[in-house]
Structure 1
Amino acid sequence: MSVLSGLAAALSDGSIEVIDLTTPLSGDTPVLSLPQPLANTVGLTLSPVSNFNDAGPAWAWNDVTVGEHAGTHLDAPVHWITGREGKSVDRIEPRRLVGPAVVIDKSAEAAQDPDFLLEPEHLEQWQQEHGQLPENCWVIFRTGWSARGGNAAEFVNADENGPHTPGVSVAAAKWIAGNDRISGFGVETVGIDAGQAANMDPMFPVHSFLLGADKYGVTSLRQLDRLPAVGATLVVAPLPIVGGTGSPSRVYALVEAV
């Protein structure tokens, strides 16, 4: 049996499960909101073209208006000034979008402190417990934040000082960007940086360091509690928008059934 035949058989008999990590995209899906005078992206709007009526008696279809960075979405290097000469979404090699998932679980810490930051020692500790990071992997930061996804206010968790959501320290952002085994970084929150990242130096260090190092981000993931620390395979499927700085994406994990 070939490798691909074996995969198809495992998917068919359920020994490999496909877990959807994507947040459903609707007009109510929370999107990033920047303070004035900065401009903001839009969420999703569906405009009917026809719906089994005179405009199309046997078919229904819609026009879609959506921001590149709405819902579960991929950040491409050209999204950030440090990667402006890098790849747009359509130029990312597909092999970089499929790879081993490395799950760093800090949900207990984030439950105690919404401003919790991932540090290099947490990444080093993971390697001590599970071994060296695999090639072409995606580091997935599990915080439990997706449990708030049904309520936009709780998901953004903002006060007069801005949003308070878990994220990554400047040092850890440098660590991830400098590791050549890592292709991307995924989070449950609305963006790949911490809620208070505007107050860091540099601002938004995950965007700054990762996208400048030809690595990619994916946001608003769900069901990370169903993934093992190591052993799953991540599949990130953005639209190949020509020149796009990002794209709403369907994200799956392939997991061996226990």
Structure 2
Amino acid sequence: MDFASKRLIDLSVGLEPGVASEPFPPQIGYMDHEEGAARLAGNLQALGHDVAGEEFPDGQGLAWEEITAIPHAGTHLDAPWHYGSECDGEPAKTIDEIPLEWCCGNAVILDFTDLDAGAEITPEQIDDRLAALDHELSAGELVFIETGADDLWGEPEYLTEFPGMGAAATKHLVEQGVKVIGTDAYGFDKPFDEMGRRYVETDDESELWPAHFAGREVEYCQIEKMANLDELPRRTDVPVVTFPVKIAEASAGWVRPVAMVEA
């Protein structure tokens, strides 16, 4: 691929300490260059070498950070193991077992910005959007759900103001060969408060994380907390890569989805 002729569009948010749109925000400790020099000097001293931090060029060593974060902070890819221990009777894949082939290809972006916060996306609504795009899904395509919620990133409302996928809609996509479904919202399902309200009202356990738990029956991964889907110049045939960080036996991995379109 000629990358010089491509415009790369970042479809992610980052890890930010103390951000209001994360219920479990990352903790990031920053070490500046002077502290880095002292730390490196200490490493050399432990090896028997008489070196002081002040002796580094300009008294500066290497800056680095220490991060404490769940892999579901920031933009991330959920593995089938996140949804349950088994998928269709087989052991569910952890993030380090996800085939890379699932995580790259052409994406289709479905616009649900017209839906109210708390609404549940249905198979019929998915088909309506695909029909409006005059597009039939092919196995291996990625589907991204655009809600517009990324405009609220950094605000408490980011956690509540978005529609979410339902179990039937999720299965509908996976049964057409889609292995990765993304959303620009905080979560793949409806907001927590809406799921809780529906469950208390109906006493129906299927109201609790229905789209996630669909992954116990059909095998797929979901990307949560995407961004900038509105910057893509077209809605279909968008080349993307979205490879997750490998974390041994984990339920998710941080990811930075990137679209590659004509410059």
TM-score under structure 2 length normalisation: 0.79
Closer, same or farther: CA 18–231 of 1 in aligned 2, 3 Å: same
Q: 1:215 aligns with which of 220, 229, 236?
A: 220
1:235 aligns with 2:241: yes
Alpha-carbon distance between aligned partners in 2 of 1:208 and 1:30, rounded to the nearest angstrom: 27
For residue 237 of structure 1, give the secondary structure of its aligned residue in structure 2: coil
Deviation at 1:28, TM superposition (A): 3.1
- Where does residue 142 of structure 1 map in the other structure? 146
Runs of 4+ in 1 over 4 A off after TM superposition: 30-33
Partner secondary structure for residue 58 of structure 1? coil
Match of residue 55, structure 1, among 35, 39, 42: 39
Measure the CA separation in 2 of the matches of 1:170 and 1:183: 15
Hey, what's the Cα distance between the residues in 2 that align with 1:132 and 1:210?
Answer: 23
- For residues 177-230 of structure 1, the C-alpha deviation after alignment (integer angstroms, 9 at most, x for no partner) is 322x20111111111111123436252121111364220000111110022210
Instruction: Give deviations 1:18-77, integer Å, cap 9, x for gaps.
Output: 1001112111345664xxxxxxxx421223456333223421112221101111111101
Deviates more, 1:84-93 or 1:237-246: 84-93
Quick one: structure 1 residues 31 and 88, their matched pair in 2 at CA, closer, same or farther if it must change by over 3 Å? farther
Cα offsets for 1:124-157 (capped at 9, x unmatched): 2233332211221111110111111131x12113
Tell me the number of residue pairs that the alignment of Structure 1 and Structure 2 aligns. 228
Matched, 1:17 2:7: yes
Any conservation in 2 of the 1:30–1:190 contact (CA below 8 Å)?
no
Question: Rg: which structure is higher?
Answer: 2
Q: How much identity, in percent, do the aligned residues show?
A: 24
* Whole-Å separation in 1 of the counterparts to 2:20 and 2:216: 23
Q: Secondary structure at the match of 1:135?
A: coil
Matched with 1:37 is none
Structure 1 SS opposite 2:33? strand
Match of 2:18 among 16, 21, 28: 28
Q: Distance in 2 between matches of 1:28 and 1:188?
A: 20
- Distance in 2 (CA, whole Å) between partners of 1:234 and 1:205 is 27
- Kindly tell me: are residues 211 and 224 of structure 1, through their superposed partners in 2, closer, same or farther at Cα, counting changes over 3 Å? farther
Query: Structure 1 pair 48/63, CA: closer, same or farther in 2 (3 Å)?
Result: same
Task: Point out the more displaced range, 167-176 or 182-191.
Answer: 167-176
Residue ranges of structure 1 left out of the alignment (5+ in a row): 1-6, 34-41, 158-163
Partner SS for 2:143: strand
**Contact 2:76/2:244 (8 A) holds in 1:** yes
TM-score by length of 1: 0.80
* 1:44 counterpart = 2:40: no
**Which residue is equivalent to 2:52?**
none
Within-5 A mapping of 1:1-258: 7=1, 9=2, 11-12=3-4, 14=5, 16-30=6-20, 33=23, 42-48=24-30, 51-53=33-35, 54-56=38-40, 57-81=60-84, 83=86, 85-107=91-113, 109-110=114-115, 113-128=116-131, 129-151=133-155, 153-157=156-160, 164-179=161-176, 181-195=177-191, 196-198=194-196, 199=198, 201-210=206-215, 212-227=217-232, 228-257=234-263
User: Which structure shows the higher strand fraction?
Assistant: 1
| C-alpha distance in structure 2 between counterparts of 1:225 and 1:48, whole Å | 33
Unmatched tracts of structure 2, length 5 or more:
41-59, 200-205
Change over 3 Å in CA distance of 1:64–1:32 after alignment to 2? closer
Distance, in Å, in 2 between the alignment partners of 1:24 and 1:73 is 10
